């Protein structure tokens, strides 16, 4: 059961708007069209959106994929970090979660390029500090729980 991105042009336009240039914050969220197990659509985008804004848009009853840009520092230089997050809400049934988890690799291709990819299973610890920590290549865990 392969995933299918509906209206890829709108997704590409949203990515270009938020992730091009010198912007230091923003995100897009993709999810499944209502009633579909395979059709993926752009659900929301927010220029200058924070991690807190992103978390407030995640639906506990959905599997969603987000690409977020956050400010970062590297060798005392201000820069950005783009992170792909696969979200599976706690109200998603196990069978649905398993079927849709197979789409994560495809979604990584759709949302590329990014610096790190994470899995999120809880909103409780989903903060900018945790996102920065878990998206670090040397982090032991790439799961926000």
List the chain domain ranges: 4-144
pTM of the model: 0.95
Quick one: residue 10, left, alpha or beta (phi over 0 = left, psi -120 to 50 = alpha)?
alpha
Token pair belonging to 117? 């990819």
**Radius of gyration from C-alpha coordinates of the chain:** 14
The pLDDT tens digits of the residues spanning 9-59 come to 999 999 999 988 788 999 999 999 999 999 999 999 999 999 999 999 999
Are the beta carbons of 81 and 72 closer than 8 angstroms? yes
DSSP 8-state code for residue 40: E
pLDDT tens digits along 58-117: 999 999 999 999 999 888 888 999 999 999 999 999 999 999 999 999 999 999 999 999
Q: Are 1 and 69 in contact (CB under 8 A)?
A: no
Beta bridge partners of 82: 69
Question: Under CATH, which number does the domain 4-144 receive?
Answer: 3.40.20.10
The number of C-alpha atoms within 13 Å of 139 and in the hemisphere containing its C-beta is 16
């Amino acid at each position: 059961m392969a995933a299918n991105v509906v209206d890829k042009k709108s997704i590409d336009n949203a990515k270009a708007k938020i992730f091009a240039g010198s912007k230091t914050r923003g995100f897009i969220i993709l999810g499944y069209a209502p009633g579909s197990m395979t059709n993926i659509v752009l659900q929301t985008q927010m220029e200058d959106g924070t991690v807190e804004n992103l978390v407030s848009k995640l639906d506990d009853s959905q599997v969603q994929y987000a690409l977020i840009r956050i400010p970062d520092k590297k060798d005392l230089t201000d820069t950005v970090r783009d992170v792909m997050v696969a979200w599976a809400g706690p109200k998603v049934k196990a069978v649905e979660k398993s079927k849709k988890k197979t789409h994560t690799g495809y979604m990584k291709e759709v949302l590329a390029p990014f610096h790190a990819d994470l899995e999120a299973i809880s909103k409780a610890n989903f903060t900018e500090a945790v996102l920065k920590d878990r998206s670090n290549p040397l982090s032991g865990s790439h799961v926000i729980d």
